[in-house]
Amino acid sequence: MNTVKTVRELRAAIARARSEGKRIALVPTMGNLHAGHAALVAKAGQRADFVVASIFVNPLQFGPTEDLDKYPRTLAADQAKLLEAGCHLLFAPGVEEMYPDGMDGQTKVSVPGVSEGLCGGSRPGHFDGVSTVVCKLLNMVQPDMALFGEKDFQQLAVIRKMVRDLNIPVQIFGEPTVRAEDGLALSSRNGYLSAEQRAIAPVIQRTLKQLAEQLRGGSRDFAALLEAGRQQIEGAGLRMDYLEIREALSLRPAAVEDKHLVILAAAFLGTTRLIDNLPLQLD
């Protein structure tokens, strides 16, 4: 696996793969990789012939009070994990390579609708940062497909809409969330948790599963369900950011007749913000 840091080297390596007739997949990441990322890379290897991963801790998607500075940079360990998962090329640019005119001077992509509310509500500007960097990465690599984890459910919806609205010629795949044995969704941010917090964290997933069971059982009093869910999560010692039931494709608040739903949660455990979701299809 080769690691390149400039767009020029990236394009040269992609051109070689293209000239060999290879189908190209992109897995964008911010590094500090875990088994969820490895699963994305492995899946990309099944779907395409040449797998490109990117590692870029994107300052544009962090708010002023967020964890940009303490976000772990673990390039050597990440390279080893990518190699093992079957990655062929790693693009690991610096901030100047991605934003040569600075972040204020950068043209931005803003996706209306799906990027509002939920994480977009609590992290103003976050999704503009995500859509801008993903748009740039898609233009740099020009892959046949790009793969993202379903754990960031709203992010995936934002990227799908951006690709549709801007006619970017790429196929987007959302891959199932990878979880620890106790149900906690794998996330780079789990590393911030103390042992005690780590033991509490699976309450989010447990609560989402219970809500899903009640929805499957016919319950449609969304407000009451969500209030009970919030109490359970807060009772375990977390501070709720949001707990919502939405229509899974548009992310608008769920209506009683909707069949394809997603329950989404974000909560703080100490200073660490955890998110999770559970999509469900009702008959």
Enzyme catalytic residues: 37
186 is in an annotated binding site: yes
Give backbone dihedrals phi and psi of 112, rounded to 5 degrees, phi first: -75, 165
Exposed, middle or buried by CB within 10 Å (0-12, 13-18, 19+), for 168?
A: middle
Total chain residues near ligand PAF (CB under 6 A): 10
Is residue 133 part of the contact set for ligand PAF (CB under 6 A)? yes
Task: Write the interaction track for ligand PAF spanning residues 160-199; mark x where CB under 6 A is met and - where it is not.
Answer: ----------------------------------------
Is residue 132 part of the contact set for ligand PAF (CB under 6 A)? no
Question: Shortest CA distance to 66 belongs to which of 116, 28, 119?
Answer: 119
79 is in an annotated binding site: no
189 is in an annotated binding site: yes
One residue of 39, 98, 111, 130 binding ligand PAF per CB under 6 A: 130
Structure tokens at 114: 């799906």
Is residue 135 part of the contact set for ligand PAF (CB under 6 A)? no
3-class secondary structure, 72: coil
Cβ proximity to ligand PAF: between 32 and 207 the closer is: 32
Cβ proximity to ligand PAF: between 36 and 202 the closer is: 36
Is residue 58 part of the contact set for ligand PAF (CB under 6 A)? yes
Max CA separation in the chain (angstroms): 58
The answer to whether the CB of 62 falls within 8 A of the CB of 119 is: no
Helix (H) or strand (E) holding 37: helix 35-47
Extract the annotated binding site for beta-alanine. 61
